Chain A
Amino acid sequence: MPLTFYLVQAFNGITFGALLFLLASGFTLIFGLMRVVSLTHGAFYLLGGYIGLTALRPLGNFGLAVVAGALAIGLVGVLIERFLLRRVWGQPLAEALLTFGLAFILADAVLMIWGGDPRNVPIPRFLRGSVVAFGLFFPKFRLFTLLLGVGVALFLWWLLACTRVGRIIRAGVDDLEMVAALGINIRAVFTGVFCLGSMLAGLAGVVGGAFLSLYPGADAEILLLGLVVVILGGLGSLEGAVVGSLVVGLLDTFGKAFFPELSYFTIFGPMALVLALRPRGLFGRV
């Protein structure tokens, strides 16, 4: 294999990792504060993608479609958090199963509304084509996804490390009762964090709709990769999500290139290894 093959695959893997990060960061953010495993995240991704696709026509702008997908899913997230998740508050497994059931409902609603044919969100004109560097072609949209992923990572880091809200969230991760006792409305913070995490999934959906494509079942595939990202990186850790996304993105891309039939299996080995050494993931708290 020539070196260029590895370079191109590595680029593809890293950019796919950036897409995974958009999804996994929301997942891990929600878990970090609320201890809620949001298994609706795959369905959020798919629903967000389709909403972006539908909104693209009247809005006429890819950026606005991304915002529309993110906002719509954020709203769905708020509704779910306020009216359903609160009823099983404090029971991690009941919460997980509730979101699991909701994922079925949302995925089926998507199938009912948009049908079963694969659809693509059209890539905006200025992001079509490739950048040529060192004699290699780098698709512009993949570069855009990478920048978006880095941007979201920096934004989340800034939010958590440098703002008052971030201090509240970090304090909540460490000691929820103390934060509540200090007079902070932790419930409102929860709703906000669930909304933000859901928005990230919706955003990932619209970008993913252009990056990959949208079809029933795409929700489960992306959820699997997202799960492995957080299992590898450690649930609730932003650094873990960054590292996990890159690892899974690269493994999946190289796996598909080398063993197309066994591609899912390439993420299994590393997952087993990490779980054997650190059951709670690379950056997870024990």
Chain B
Amino acid sequence: MRTAWTWASVAVLGTLGMFAPLYLPAFYLRLLTESLIYAMFAMSIDLLAGYAGLVTLGHAGIFGISAYLVGYLTARLGLPMHVTFPCGVLGAVGASLLFGIMAVRTSGVYFLLITMAQGMIVWGLAFRWTSVTGSENGIRGILRPDALATQQAYYYVILGAFVLVAFLLVRLVRSPFGLSLLGLRENEARLRALGYSVWLHRLLAFLVSGCFAGIAGAFYAFHNNFVSPDAVHFVLSGQGLLMVILGGAGTLVGPVVGAGVFIFLRNVVSLYTDRWPMVLGALFVLTVLLAPQGLVGLARQLLRRWPAGAEPAPVGSTLPYGVVSPQPLDGRNNPAPHQPTNHPGKRRR
């Protein structure tokens, strides 16, 4: 039943996606392309935040390193995309290795603070290292090869990459490795006792996540033909995390839904007001307060209430984005880490 529904929706969405350039005006096609790029970025954050329980606020740093590398190599050195793209992704993985080694020995808020500081340092570099990054002016003229110059062609590349990334991530989170990440999130001490190397698992998760963030960053550079310090700013890290939480952390559908809703909202809101950061902040606050399981979590709750007792919740699906810190910071302040997920009426206050 469940799988049938899943496959049906995948088929419908796939068809809609395949033929999007036929019925969508150029502006909306551009938005859709952007949503897919952000969806990849958000999924990479979700792998860390939702599955491994390591909430990061510095992922834009990694995303942006890739975007800047691609930008510099393409626009300044004139190298072709098939060279610059892998270079950007490799740069992101290299940065993830460095940042990961620094951060993965901690978890919870320590991890959040360290990654946030790392991301901000990358931003400082992008902002101040004028001779390479062009500071606020950024790097312009990151042109795609002629074959991908049109919005339609680029859309199909992004769509293909998105499907590939989503497929790889689905396989990854269902693999023994992905399950051990979930285990780490839920009970670090137990996995440690079972002989898992906590450090290595987290570092690998960080690397994989950084790789996908790098892919998104490289596509972003070619999408905008331009990178500026905004691409590494912690605001972007926050936005990525918001997409994850808004959609539903710990599910891969969540970040995709979150990215779509987010891009849509941003465009609607900016029609009416310049106060987008305020709306963004309010969205953050409201999501954390009212819908910690995100839209996907809410939808699941509704579905479960409707046909009474239809199906049990899959493991970990409605856990609020590792808010339940895998290792309660010091064994206190954690009144009820595991809310029973099959009582939709019971809400966290």
Interface residues of A (CB under 8 A from B): 35, 37, 39, 84, 87-94, 96-98, 100-109, 111-112, 175-177, 220-221, 223-224, 227-228, 230-231, 235, 260-265, 267-268, 271-272, 275-276, 279-280
Contact = CB atoms under 8 A, between A and B. Distances in A.
Given A176-B332, A176-B333, A260-B128, A105 B110 contact: no
A261 B102 contact: no
B340 to A, nearest CB: 17
B324 A101 contact: no
B221 interface: no
Interface in B213-238: 234-235, 238
Contact of A98 (B113, B117, B289): B289
A231 B106 CA distance: 11
Given A231-B114, A261-B129, A97 B284 contact: yes
A90 B333 contact: yes
A98 B285 CA distance: 5
Contacts of A276: 101-102
Contacts of A265: 121, 124-125
Interface of B: 55, 57, 98, 101-103, 105-106, 108-110, 112-114, 116-118, 120-121, 124-125, 128-131, 234-235, 238, 241, 245, 275, 277-278, 280-285, 288-289, 292, 320-325, 329-330, 332-335, 349
Contact of A108 (B128, B281, B285, B332): B281
Contacts of A39: 116
A262 B133 CA distance: 12
Contacts of B323: 88, 91, 93-94
A279 B105 contact: yes
Nearest to B286: A101
Contacts of A223: 120
Given A90-B333, A227-B120, 16 more contacts: A35-B109, A88-B289, A89-B333, A90-B334, A93-B112, A93-B322, A97-B284, A100-B57, A101-B280, A104-B235, A104-B238, A105-B277, A224-B124, A235-B109, A272-B98, A272-B102
Contacts of A91: 320, 323-325, 334
Interface centre among B125, B323, B335 (most CB of A within 10 A): B323
A270 B256 CA distance: 37
B121 A109 contact: no
A227 B277 contact: no
Contacts of B125: 262, 264-265
A268 B324 contact: no
A166 B187 CA distance: 35
A220 B98 CA distance: 23
Given A100-B57, A107-B277, A92 B109 contact: yes
21 contacts: A35-B330, A92-B108, A92-B333, A93-B109, A93-B321, A98-B284, A101-B284, A102-B281, A104-B278, A104-B284, A112-B275, A175-B332, A176-B333, A224-B124, A227-B116, A228-B117, A235-B109, A264-B121, A271-B117, A275-B106, A280-B110
Contacts of B321: 93
A275 B105 contact: yes
Enumerate the 4 nearest inter-chain pairs by beta-carbon distance, A residue then B residue, closest first.
A101-B284, A264-B124, A104-B281, A105-B281
A279 B332 CA distance: 21
Contacts of B241: 97
Contacts of B110: 235, 279-280
Interface centre among A92, A265, A267 (most CB of B within 10 A): A92
A101 B288 contact: yes
A109 B105 contact: no
A107 B276 CA distance: 12
B278 A108 contact: yes
Contacts of B128: 260-264
A263 B280 CA distance: 30
Contacts of B116: 39, 227
Nearest to A112: B275
A10 to B, nearest CB: 22
Interface centre among B55, B116, B280, B335 (most CB of A within 10 A): B116
A108 B125 CA distance: 24
B108 A104 contact: no
A247 B109 CA distance: 23
A105 B285 contact: yes
B333 A35 contact: yes
B288 A35 contact: no
A111 B349 CA distance: 33
Contacts of B280: 101, 104
A105 B278 contact: yes
Contacts of B131: 261
A87 B289 contact: yes
A231 B282 contact: no
Contacts of A262: 125, 128-129
Given A92-B109, A94-B323, A227-B117, A261 B130 contact: yes
A97 B245 contact: yes
Contacts of B325: 91-93
A52 to B, nearest CB: 23
Given A108-B278, A224-B117, A264-B124, A35 B329 contact: yes
B349 A101 contact: no
B292 A100 contact: no
A7 B122 CA distance: 30
